[in-house]
Amino acid sequence: MSRGENSEMAWGNVTLADVARTAGVSPITVSRVLNDPDKVKAKTQEKVKAAIREIGYVPNMLAGGLVSSKSKLVIVLVPSIAHRVFVNTIQNLTEQMSSAGYQVLLSQTFFENQSELEQIETILSRRPDAIVLTTPLFSVDARALLRARNTPVVEVWDYYDDPIDAVVGFSHTELGVAMAQAMIDKGHRRVGLIWVDDQRGSLRLAACEQHLLERGVEVTSVQRINPPVSVGEGRKAMQYLIDEDNIPTGVICSNDLITLGAVSALKASGIAVPSRVALIGFGDIDFAAHVSPSLSTFQVQSTDIGKIAAQMLLARLEKGAQRGTLKQNLGFQFEDRETS
């Protein structure tokens, strides 16, 4: 075969039959090398692999999946690739699934541009073996569609009694209460809230505010920030409280980026942290313990969430675990550092 023919074939629709002709073997031998190499002699395997490299053949995983009913594809839905809190979870999930022969694909959920049901329909049309949700679905129809399918679904960074399929994480309502109680335990009776206005954040906010009010704490202000959140938005929200001369003694922030921005605004205004204003956040992202002052925050086991989610997926995909039987609440813990 000439170099010109090689180039043309590499850029065209190279087939398994082309590999067989190049290697001088039958198509079934090529198939065995790709799918069941233990049944093929080492010398023959090398001939086939050399032919694959020579002509640039890429196996059609979809075609193979139609036979085995498996695509070996897991789709992970994330609100945005800018959400740092999910990094450890996704990394460990990907490592575990890759070791088991699955490919993980990230998909951003732009639900403001497309309904949940439409997006789930589009994802299911790709025939993934499993789906991981990092944010909850509130559409009854979308949840019903996933329940009606046999596709395994794991919801992460959440916990409740009636998941679509499997769930691993923690209760955002319980976390909201714990955030409020941590500030109360520090003796604060005038508390401000700076919160990202997203789905789970709203659950934490409602629980946090209710617990404060039930304990007789004055909620001086609730500043809501539209996602995606940033340090700058946290600083701007805190600056608003400073400019309004309505500074509470404690501020609870819905995540650590907001907390960092709030600390920056307070320091720029010469307001001491935590003696004048104490702050508590959520997430314990990588810099939280290393900035000055270090951030008091609630930590969740993000790495373990990813590992356990992968174990749940494999239990559903390969071990016959039943839908609705895999649920794990990993809880959270308070890291009491310098801002509180």
Q: Is the pTM of this model over 0.85?
A: no
Q: Note whether residue 338 is domain-resident.
A: no
Predicted confidence at residue 209, as pLDDT, reads 98
**Burial grade of 214 (CB within 10 A; 0-12, 13-18, 19 or more):** exposed
Distance CA 135, CA 109 (A): 9
Same domain? 103 vs 50: no
> Is the pLDDT score of 221 beyond 60?
yes
Same domain? 313 vs 165: yes
Same domain? 193 vs 254: yes
Residue, of 28 and 68, whose pLDDT is higher: 28
- Per-residue confidence band for 117, with pLDDT thresholds at 50, 70 and 90: confident
Mean pLDDT of 120-137: 89
Same domain? 208 vs 148: no
Domain that holds residue 149: 70-170+303-332
Same domain? 128 vs 54: no
> Is the pLDDT score of 103 beyond 50?
yes
Mean pLDDT of 128-142: 90
Mean pLDDT of 212-227: 94
Distance CA 298, CA 46 (A): 54
Same domain? 284 vs 190: yes
Same domain? 101 vs 213: no
Predicted confidence at residue 131, as pLDDT, reads 96
CA contacts within 13 A on the Cβ side of 329: 13
Q: Note whether residue 92 is domain-resident.
A: yes
CATH number of the domain where residue 18 is located = 1.10.260.40
- Per-residue confidence band for 185, with pLDDT thresholds at 50, 70 and 90: very high
Question: Is 219 strand, coil or helix?
Answer: strand
Predicted confidence at residue 195, as pLDDT, reads 96
Count of the separate structural domains present in the chain: 3
Distance CA 328, CA 245 (A): 44
Same domain? 131 vs 200: no
Is residue 340 within 8 A of residue 279, CB to CB? The reply is yes
Mean pLDDT of 34-63: 82
* Domain final residue pick, 59, 81, 97: 59
Is residue 209 within 8 A of residue 179, CB to CB? The reply is no
- Per-residue confidence band for 68, with pLDDT thresholds at 50, 70 and 90: low
Q: Note whether residue 65 is domain-resident.
A: no
164: its two tokens = 């679509």
CATH number of the domain where residue 152 is located = 3.40.50.2300
Is residue 242 within 8 A of residue 269, CB to CB? The reply is yes
Same domain? 116 vs 213: no
